[in-house]
Amino acid sequence: MSSSLHSRLQQLQSRFTWDLKEEDMDLENLSIRLQEHIDLQLGQRGAVALSYSFLAYVRYLQGRRQEAMSLLNQSEEKTRECYGEESERRLIVTYGDQAWLKYHTGDYKQSHSYCQRVDDILVKYPAGSTTVLHPEVYGEKAWTYLKCLKAYYPKAIDCFHKALELQPDDSEWNAGCAIALYRTEPSDLETSQEDEESPAIKQLRRALEINPDDGVLLSMLALKLTAHKKHQEAEALVERALEKDPDNPHAIRYIAKYLRIQGDDQRSIDLLRRALERTNQSAFIHHQLAMCYKKKQQASKNSKPFNKQKLKQWKHLRIQHLEEAVNIKPSFVVAIADLALLHGEEKNFSRAEELFQQGLRNSSSADKIVFHLNYADFHLYHTKQEDKAIPHYTEGLHLTPNMWELKKCVKGLKMIAERRLSLDENDAQSYGLLGLVAKAEGDKKKAEEFYEKALDCDENNDEYLSALCELRMQLQ
């Protein structure tokens, strides 16, 4: 029976069949966030039931199977409470998870019973095609991917789109799709197109047509519109979010980010502190506070008379909140990189090294550039070891940086090369670095000249010879 049952289980729509890789998930942080959603009753109708069922899967991965089953029972109860007679299709995934969990505990009879419950629902509500799922299944799958990690966001968007094809006016799927698109688009201040609205803006507007009082959607749209220079509309959205959803910490964190961008740092800090009273385990809010204190610190540097005590106070608060953020979410790439560089400024080199190694070890390839840039700055400006900074700036160039990151790599390498050439005009490595920089900037002719100079100083260097040959072929 075990073999045939396992084959049947693999046909179910369940988190056990959605290719969720344990190594991709920060289970402790995910657990904290899902529990927070449950405690604060966050999200749209039925969202708490989804949090219960996903938390059950996390508990299974953590080896807490009895608690996992209890959470799935609570998810079922919450679903029935929210949807009443319309709850059955929303239980397809929950029953699938329960079937798998019973199978893993050796209770094959109960596992079979849950499989049968799924079959009964599918007979009662046929999907119309073997390749099409119910919109409720696409939706739950999408929310699960969205709560996992950045690499799963494209899958979330795809599932939300499929749910919307079947239920185009559903509030939940429209909101989820808007949030997923918001997270995958370039950061708000990097947007270059001021006229044409992005897919995220269009979807946020669509979601707000259906649910005009959603504070999270209102504040996300405000941030997007700020990048498109639509300040008056953005401000009105923020005021509406504060009026309609003043106690939602998820909305407040975006509102506070908007206020910080507008230069209203103190109001931003006050809102974030208020949000922490409801959810002190939010890495995002701690990081936003650190960003506010960074602006305070920068303002103190330029203030007259100069207040050294205030400067130390803001830096201390930055470190404090970044440490909290990293402690809550050890995979928080940007927070780790910022914190490492701050410890470098404070000459706490051992803690800085520990954080840089943690970041480089655990970050995805897309995030590694942040660590290479900060690591390079750490060595260039704080440990004063240029030789250790060079490979990190160089690696940054190879990781397809955006314009800001490219400029930072270029600035660091040029500074090192020009300083060394001022001491020794025959320094081959410096000409090689300038050749690399010119190539990255798209000036192949200038790059060719620098590599020629590098070879004049070090005629047997294979690296420079190879780079020069490649450039000459491209210039022909």
Render 109-171 in DSSP notation, one character per residue.
HHHHHHHHHHHHHHHHS--SSTT---HHHHHHHHHHHHHH-GGGHHHHHHHHHHHHHH-TT-H
pLDDT on residue 476: 76
pLDDT on residue 170: 94
Structure tokens at 13: 């729509």
| pLDDT (tens digit per residue) in 318-377 | 999 999 999 988 888 889 999 999 999 999 999 999 999 988 887 776 678 888 999 999
Q: CB–CB of 157/203 below 8 Å?
A: no
The band of 384, judged by pLDDT with boundaries at 50, 70 and 90, is very high
The band of 435, judged by pLDDT with boundaries at 50, 70 and 90, is very high
Q: Where are the domains of the chain?
A: 1-126, 391-475
pLDDT average, residue stretch 108-127: 94
| pLDDT (tens digit per residue) in 265-312 | 999 999 999 989 888 888 999 999 999 999 999 888 887 777 888 889
Domain 391-475: CATH superfamily is: Tetratricopeptide repeat domain (1.25.40.10)
- Selection from 144, 171, 127, 164 nearest residue 15 by Cα: 144
Confidence check: pLDDT of 190 > 50: no
Measured at the CA of 79, the angle between CA 78 and CA 81, to 5 degrees, comes to 60
> Rounded to whole angstroms, how far apart are CA atoms 431 and 436?
9
> Rounded to whole angstroms, how far apart are CA atoms 186 and 180?
12
pLDDT on residue 187: 66
Confidence check: pLDDT of 192 > 80: no
Measured at the CA of 319, the angle between CA 317 and CA 325, to 5 degrees, comes to 105
pLDDT on residue 362: 76
Q: Report the 10 Å Cβ neighbour count for 259.
A: 20
CATH code: domain 1-126 is: 1.25.40.10
| pLDDT (tens digit per residue) in 454-464 | 999 998 899 99
> Rounded to whole angstroms, how far apart are CA atoms 458 and 257?
51
Confidence check: pLDDT of 188 > 80: no
Alpha carbon dihedral 70, 71, 73, 79, in 10-degree steps, equals 170
The band of 25, judged by pLDDT with boundaries at 50, 70 and 90, is confident
pLDDT average, residue stretch 439-464: 92
pLDDT average, residue stretch 134-161: 94
pLDDT average, residue stretch 405-419: 93
pTM above 0.85? no
pLDDT on residue 171: 94
The more confident residue out of 41 and 392 is 392
Confidence check: pLDDT of 189 > 50: no
User: Based on the number of CB atoms within 10 Å of its own CB, is 426 exposed (0-12), middle (13-18) or buried (19 or more)?
Assistant: exposed
Least confident segment among 164-168, 330-334, 379-383: 330-334
> Rounded to whole angstroms, how far apart are CA atoms 361 and 378?
17
Measured at the CA of 51, the angle between CA 48 and CA 52, to 5 degrees, comes to 90
pLDDT on residue 318: 96
Least confident segment among 161-165, 336-340, 367-371, 388-392: 367-371
The more confident residue out of 1 and 202 is 202
pLDDT average, residue stretch 143-167: 94
pLDDT on residue 191: 46
Confidence check: pLDDT of 315 > 60: yes
Q: CB–CB of 148/23 below 8 Å?
A: no
Residue the block writes with tokens 């590599």: 451
1-126 and 391-475 share one CATH topology? Answer: yes
For 173-209, give one letter per residue: b (16+ CB within 10 A) or e: bbbbbbbbbbeebeebeebeeeeebbebbebbebbbe
* Mean residue pLDDT across the chain: 91
- State which H helix or E strand residue 345 sits in: helix 333-345
pLDDT average, residue stretch 245-254: 89
